[in-house]
Structure 1
Amino acid sequence: MPPPIVTIIHLTETPVSIPATETPTIVPTPTALPHLMYPYTIAGLRERTFSGGEMQILQTLLQTQTYTRYLISYPSDGLTITGVLQIPAGEGPFPVIVMNHGFSKRSEYISGDGTDRAAAYLVERGYVTIASDFRTWGDSDFSPSFFHTGLVVDVMNLMASLPSLPQADISRIGMWGHSMGGGITTKILTLESPVRAAVLYAPNSADDADLIARWGYGCLGDISAGEMVETCNSADVIPDTLPDEVTAAYIESTLSEERMREIAPFYHLEYVSVPVQIHIGSADGDYIGSTPPEWSYKLNQGLIDAGKDVDLFVYDGQRHSFTGDAWTQFMDRAIGFFKEYLN
């Protein structure tokens, strides 16, 4: 179903006649104000400062001889965001892998979903792993999010909170992202961040217009209701309590090629400064919630054209989540990559 056309009506006062004997007052043309969606463009995000805060351990979830898993929280723009932290046994400090999960229905999601299998593989090999639940997932607070940028902000504030974790070596941070989390990772790579190497696993397109073409723009109003349909993208959070002009600006931006270029990291790959690995299954994209391989081919070529360090691995017959030997091969390649650039 095509997105609705949004019409903005500008009300003006009734003109007042000026007597011929009076000199008309010349009103200067006002300086154009930034578009309401400017803060969510790559340029707007690059102007931001992310301060994070103190990370809190809420609960010990699992303790083994080789690592401990915790439920944590941290502040992000006035919100409390939850997540899962895993710390290897030993004194450390250890290199850190920030892990960004893919889309999951909020009613079914529990902390660590989408990253737990890979996190266990990494922590067993000496890496601190930490995965944000993102706003509106898990026990995190609710807040609007346009073009996934709320999630980007949560991850940036997570990294800004890492100095409060003594076992984390904040000079050695890598990032791993699957599906939606891969798209979030790509957006972060165009910002100023401490990430030194990034692994993209079946990532969302780096061109937000591709996401809107496949899934529509954000579900307006109740996101839980939006998750039950396929005509809107409930990864974005657009509550009906927002001012009408903000919602209109959001929808108008989804229909504007110029605005989408300002929002999508694909058109700002010159800012990427770290090596990237991309892993995609040749059979991905076979259902609506998956990511077509063409998105990864497009990003790979864009990074090559921008002169960046990128490797693309295609796994024959694998779908959106790898299985069997392919998954082990993928993770071993990721670990070798992180060892090269973080150790």
Structure 2
Amino acid sequence: MKRPSIALAVLLAVLAGCSAQPDAPAGPADEVPGPVATSAPAATPGPTSSPSPTAVPKKQPAEKKPAQKKKPHPVSMQALVEKRYDGRDLRRGRLLRDQGSYKRYAVTFRGDGEKISGIMNLPDGKGPFPVVVLNHGYIDPDTYWSGQGMPREQDVLARRGFAVLHVDYRNHAGSSDDDGGVDGTDYALRLPYVVDTINAVKAVKASGWDVLDTDHVGWFGRSMGGGVTLRALAVAPGLVDAAAVWASVSSDEADNWERWYADNPERRGTNRRIAKTYGLPDDAPAFWRAASARSSFDRITEPVLVQHGAADRTCPVRWARKTVDALEDADVDVRSDVYPGADHTFEGRTFDRAMDRTADFFEDQLR
């Protein structure tokens, strides 16, 4: 009987197909399948699907090294800003003179590998007395003696109750000669004198002398020393409390080179070095700006008194006016006086008026 046998065979084939496990479809190559919940023991697995690839961490960009800071030109305001100052070891030497209301002493201090000489006027009494550090104008170092340059100013300030330290600078009087000597200092546009006056203030503050009010210190410079003072204020903001400049050189070093170097036969060798290594002002204006106090006036934080003679033929009054304008543009607290008919030396009544104003200025700022 063929029909029942065929039907039975078909039925058995259907039942066998229903009990078999189907092949699982393969997912995308980067898909990781999640866990499958089951209520019965897992059947024997069918053909293995493609394994999921292991995650590879992204390559991190190489860490950049910080850009190396470019060193400033050694003859620049920025080089002075970055320099470390170590003024110390202020020592009182022999008594030079008893002026009745004050005594005058020889002094020395150390800094920048140099020993710097000077004089100090100390008022009679216990103190402590506020201190004014004086920066003198240009005098030929071969003929200069200690304390020369501002004797009238030293006397008035001491009689008004200020301790006065007059700095001789390196290569002057009893100070040590640096490696380059006077020519080397000229070649460096006299920036080393700025180092000396900053170290003078540091030495005062580190002295431990009970007679000195080391919390109240000012700078006072005239002519070349006015330029030294302006640079020092910009290099070391906050070191002193106030500063006065009289009959100052220009705060733009190109002016000073033109006035005292360009046609000076005694500085012909220095000029050749300057032209070769720095370039002259017309050829290298960026260098001369960077070496000028004016380029850094925005760093000054102390009040400044500027006094100048209208008839000054050594340092023209237009320099003072440009300096005052630049200080004002930099938001510096600046006061200025121009004395009609007065020359570079402030003689007679001009000196008396200028000195009274200066002493009053220091009274307001240092006491």
TM over 0.5: yes
Q: 1:328 aligns with which of 342, 349, 352?
A: 352
Alignment check: 8 A CA contact 1:103 1:179 kept: yes
> Pairwise mapping of residues 153-232 of structure 1 onto structure 2 (< 5 A)?
153-162=195-204, 163-164=206-207, 166=209, 167-193=211-237, 194-216=239-261, 230-231=264-265
Q: What's the C-alpha RMSD, in Å, of the aligned pairs? A: 2.5
Identify if the C-alpha distance between structure 1 residues 304 and 239 changes in structure 2 by more than 3 Å, giving closer, same or farther: closer
Question: Quick one: which of 121, 130, 137 aligns to 1:86?
Answer: 121
Cα distance change of structure 1 residues 265 and 90 upon mapping to structure 2, 3 Å threshold: same
SS in 2 for 1:54: strand
Q: Where does residue 127 of structure 1 map in the other structure?
A: 162
284, 300, 304: which one aligns with 2:328: 304
Aligned-pair CA distance for 1:32: 9.7
Q: Is the CA contact (8 Å cut-off) linking 2:278 and 2:284 kept in structure 1? A: no
Given that 2:297 and 2:327 are in contact with CA atoms closer than 8 Å, whether structure 1 keeps it comes out as yes
Contact 1:100-1:185 within 8 A present in 2 as well: yes
Distance across 2 between alignment mates of 1:325 and 1:39: 43
TM-score normalised by the chain length of structure 2: 0.74
- The answer as to 2:355 corresponding to 1:313 is no
**Corresponding position: 1:259 with 2:287:** yes
> Displacement, 1:262?
1.1
Number of the residue aligned with 2:59: none
Could you tell me how far apart the structure 2 residues matched to 1:318 and 1:125 are? 24
Larger radius of gyration: 2
| Structure 2 residue aligned with 1:26 | none
- Higher mean C-alpha deviation, range 107-116 or range 320-329: 107-116
Query: How far off its partner does 1:53 sit?
Result: 1.6
Q: Which amino acid aligns with 1:280?
A: H
Structure-2 separation of matches of 1:272 and 1:150: 19
Identify unmatched segments of 5+ residues in structure 1: 1-30, 218-228
In 2, distance between residues paired with 1:138 and 1:269? 31
Structure 1 runs, 4 residues or longer, greater than 4 Å off: 237-240, 250-255
Measure how far apart 1:238 and its partner are.
Answer: 6.0
**Equivalent residues of 2:198, 2:236 under 8 A apart:** no
Amino acid in structure 1 at the alignment position of 2:291: I
User: Alignment partner of 2:156: what SS?
Assistant: helix
**Matching residue's letter, 1:187:** R
Where do 5+ consecutive residues of structure 2 fail to align? 1-67, 179-183
Distance 1:142 1:192 in 2: 24
1:341 to 1:63, Cα distance in 2 relative to 1, 3 A: same
Contact in 2 for aligned 1:215/1:231 (Cα 8 Å): no
Query: Against the structure 1 CA distance between its residues 179 and 42, is the aligned structure 2 distance closer, same or farther, given a 3 Å change threshold?
Result: same
What CA distance in whole angstroms lies between the structure 1 residues aligned with 2:199 and 2:275? Answer: 25
% identical equivalent positions: 30
Higher relative contact order (CA 8 A, sep 6+): 1
Distance in 2 separating the partners of 1:172 and 1:164? 14
2:106 matched residue in structure 1:
71
1:286-311 deviation line (CA, Å, top 9, x unaligned): xxxx2111110000111111122111
Task: Tell me the CA shift for residue 247 of structure 1.
Answer: 8.8
Give secondary structure in 2 for the equivalent of 1:273.
Answer: coil
SS at 1:182 equivalent = helix
- Secondary structure in 2 matching 1:195: coil
What letter corresponds to residue 297 of structure 1 in structure 2?
Answer: R
For residues 65 and 254 of structure 1, do their structure 2 counterparts lie closer, same or farther at Cα, with a shift above 3 Å needed?
farther
Asked whether the 8 Å contact 1:280–1:313 carries over to 2, the reply is yes
